[in-house]
Amino acid sequence: ASTLKIENLHVSIEGKEILKGLNLEINGGEIHAVMGPNGTGKSTLASAIMGHPKYEITEGSVFLDNEDVLEMEVDERAKAGLFLAMQYPSEVSGVTNADFLRSAINARREEGDEISLMKFIKKLDKKMAELDMGEEFAQRYLNEGFSGGEKKRNEILQLMMLEPKIAVLDEIDSGLDIDALKVVSKGVNAMRSDDFGCLIITHYQRLLNYITPDKVHVMMQGRIVKSGGAELAQRLESEGYDWIKQELGIKD
Ligand code: ADP
Ligand code: MG
Ligand code: MG
């Protein structure tokens, strides 16, 4: 199993420090949730792991096993086994979903070890059926005219096809109706194995009714300020964040 280890991460955007010493370790087999009020830096964390050029790492480290993630280009991060839903282009004209998935899989493999067309199609059919996706989805152009729910479903299809070591899913639940939410959750739950670790970033507890996290972290003011089990998410749902602020003496 793999480990993503984030230590003392400081990240700035346009000279303003957003992450202020964040620590987090995710092992294969674990699903972690990061929750927190709006504007605390949750998406900044995802973007920094992804390697978005706008986010400047000023201190700290991110390692995937023995590899220094911060030294890698974005495509190298994917090849190393990281999956970030956001790294995928929002719309690509003239590239079908199936073409995109196949080249994304092959980009992570060594030359000469590309997935065969037969194997690819078999796997794609299987995963699409698991996600209740119609066959026509494979031949549609990537994200073109996709509804919000279809885009999320498609991100989960990408996740299931690519089988990364560690995935970071930022607000995968936003704008989903209950049926789409169930399908997305089913996909993430189907990924559960010792070879897969997952960081779910969410503002709402709702998603965690369907995906039970092993650990829940609360992020405030650019740091993880509290960690616990699934019960922590439930307490946040019923009581909000004020009690944590009081506990820690945080004033806003
Ligand atoms: P969250 O995901 O927890 O809501 P974000 O990481 O999106 O928080 O934002 C954290 C802070 O960084 C906010 O104050 C936001 O305004 C700021 N910020 C985020 N992205 C940018 C950006 N691209 N340019 C300038 N400021 C940004
Ligand atoms: Mg936000
Ligand atoms: Mg966000």
Q: What is the mean pLDDT of the chain?
A: 91
Domains of the chain in sequence order:
3-248 (3.40.50.300)
Residue among 11, 13, 171, 172 to mutate when testing ligand 1 (max atoms within 8 A of CB): 13
Q: Which atom of ligand 1 is nearest to the CA of 54?
A: 23
Determine if the pTM surpasses 0.90: yes
149's enclosing H/E stretch is helix 148-162
pLDDT at 86: 59
Please report the ipTM that was assigned to this predicted complex.
0.93
Count Cβ atoms below 10 Å from residue 228 Cβ, excluding itself: 14
Count Cβ atoms below 10 Å from residue 10 Cβ, excluding itself: 17
pLDDT at 92: 65
Q: What is the pLDDT of residues 203-228, one digit of tens each?
A: 888 899 999 999 999 999 999 999 99
Report whether pLDDT(87) > 50: no
pLDDT at 85: 75
- Check if 18 has its Cβ closer than 6 Å to any atom of ligand 1: yes
pLDDT at 252: 66
Q: What is the pLDDT of residues 13-28, one digit of tens each?
A: 999 999 999 999 999 9
CB 231 within 8 A of CB 224: no
